[in-house]
Amino acid sequence: MSSSLLTFATEQGERAAEGLPPIGVGLIAFATLMFLLLITLAFRSVGTRHR
């Protein structure tokens, strides 16, 4: 049973990897990191606010 599940998961993983070219993965990663950078910059002055 586990062997058939492992085979199925491997086949599905190979099909999923063929769907997106490496440049697409890179662009998605870059966009995600830029979005996180913008969030970080938005909160950079929180620690220096006066009460």
17: pLDDT strictly greater than 60: no
User: Could you give the percent of the chain with pLDDT greater than 70?
Assistant: 82
pTM of the model: 0.57
Q: What is the Cα–Cα distance from 43 to 16, expressed in whole angstroms?
A: 36
Q: How far is CA 30 from CA 1, 9, 27, 43, in A?
A: 40, 28, 5, 20
Q: What is the Cα–Cα distance from 26 to 22, expressed in whole angstroms?
A: 6
Confidence of residue 7 (pLDDT cuts 50, 70, 90): confident
Q: Give the torsion sign (CA, 18, 23, 29, 35).
A: negative
pLDDT at residue number 13: 63
Per the rule left: phi > 0, alpha: psi between -120 and 50, beta: everything else, 48 is alpha
